[in-house]
Amino acid sequence: MGQGAQSRASNFIAYNRIGNEATGDASREIDLPDGGQNYLIGNSIQQGPMGQKFQPGQLWRRSLNNPGPHRFYAINNTLVNEMTVGSYFAVPTGLVHFKVWNNILAGGGTFTDGVWPAGTDTASNLVTSNIASAGFISPTTYDYHITDTSPAHNLGSPAGVSVSGVDLVAYYEYVHPTDSVLRCQHALLDAGAYAHCTNTGLDELKEGKNVRVWPNPSADAFQLAPVDANAVVGLFDACGRQVRAEQHLRNGRLILEAGQLPAGAYLLLVDDTCFNLLLAR
C-alpha cells in the first residue's frame, strides 16, 4: 500500500521509471496532494495487476495548500495500467491549467476521474485500452520503447512552453536502472517517454567516438576536438531544420557559438559523424 512517489511541494518530476510491476500494491504511482505548479515529463509509469487503484497523476486530493495558480503539465510520459479500472489523472476542481500532450495511456481506466478543469489542454496523446496495440518493444518486461510501427511514432506535436516559461520538451530518456540518455530528436515527434530513433537520411550516420564535445549541456557555446579543417559542419533543430550558429575552427578545435538559439536539443553533423547537443538555460 501507499504511493510510488508522493510530495506536497511543487515538483518537476522527469525521466523516471515508477511502477508496481507484477506484485506491487501501491495505491497510486504519483501523489501530489497540495497543488502548486507541477511538471511530469518523460516518465515511464506502470501500475501492475495488484495495485489498489491507477491514478499516476493523482493531484491535490486533500488540499490546495501550495501557492497558486495551480497548474499541471504532463508531457511525453508513458502510462501503462495492467488493471481494468481506475483513471490516469485525478484532478481537482481548483486546477486552472491542465496540459497533457504527447503521452501514451495504455491499458484499462479512463483519462481522468471525471473532472475536466476549464483550463484543459490535451493534444497528440495515444489512448488505448489494449496495451499490445501501443507497439511497445516488450511490455511484459516493462520495456516501453516503441517500434517504428507503433501508433505513437510521429504522433507528437511541439508543446511549447509553460505559462512560467519552462520548456515543455522531453530532452532525455530514462535508462534502467539509474541512468539517462539524450532523447533522439527527429523531424516528427513521438508520443511517450521513448522516441523511436531513425536516421536523418544520411548514409552510414555514425556517432562520434574519438571527438570530444564539451560542455554538453551548454548555455551558449560548444567545443569539439579534434576537427579537420575541411570538415563539413551542419546544425539541426529538433524538427530537422538546419539552423545557423557562428563557427570558429582553431588548431583543430571547433567552437560553435549557439547562444542566440532557443534552448533545446540539437543534432550536430561533422561530415558523417553526429553529436546530440543540449542547449540549456
Q: Where are the domains of the chain?
A: 3-182, 206-279
| Helix count and strand count (H, E) for the chain | 0, 28
pLDDT at 3 over 80: no
CA-nearest of 167, 181, 195 to 264 is 167
Contact predicate 81/49, CB 8 Å: no
Residue pLDDT, tens place only, 215-236:
888 899 999 888 888 888 889 8
CB-CB contact of 124 with 157 (8 Å): yes
| Alpha-helical segments (H) within the chain | none
- C-alpha cell read off for 210: 574519438
The neighbour count for residue 251, using CB atoms within 10 Å, is 8
How far apart are the C-alpha atoms of 258 and 260, rounded to whole Å?
Answer: 5
Q: What is the rounded distance in angstroms from the CA atom of residue 179 to the CA atom of residue 176?
A: 6
Q: How far is CA 264 from the centre of its chain?
A: 12
Of 202 and 242, which is predicted with more confidence?
242
CB 245 within 8 A of CB 257: yes
Q: With 0.85 as the threshold, say if the pTM is over it.
A: no
> What does the pLDDT look like over 35-70, one tens digit per residue?
788 999 999 999 888 876 555 554 444 567 888 888
**What are 37's three cell numbers?**
505548479
pLDDT attached to residue 142: 94
**Residue 32 · residue 64 · CB < 8 Å:** no
Looking at residue 167, the DSSP 8-state letter turns out to be B
Residue position matching grid coordinates 511549447: 160
Rounded Cα distance between 258 and 245, Å, is: 5
Check residue 55 and give its pLDDT: 59
Q: What is the pLDDT of residue 72?
A: 92
- pLDDT of amino acid 58: 47
- Of the pLDDT bands very low, low, confident and very high (cuts 50, 70, 90), residue 200 is very low
Separation of alpha carbons 44 and 50, rounded Å: 18
CATH architecture of 206-279: Sandwich (2.60)
Residue type, 69: P
Instruction: Give dist(CA 173, CA 150) in Å, integer.
Output: 18
What is the arithmetic mean of pLDDT over 76-97? 88
* Residues 9-42 pLDDT 10s: 678 999 999 988 888 777 667 888 777 889 999 9
Of 155 and 63, the structure prediction assigns the larger pLDDT to: 155
On whether the CB atoms of residues 268 and 237 are closer than 8 A, the answer is no
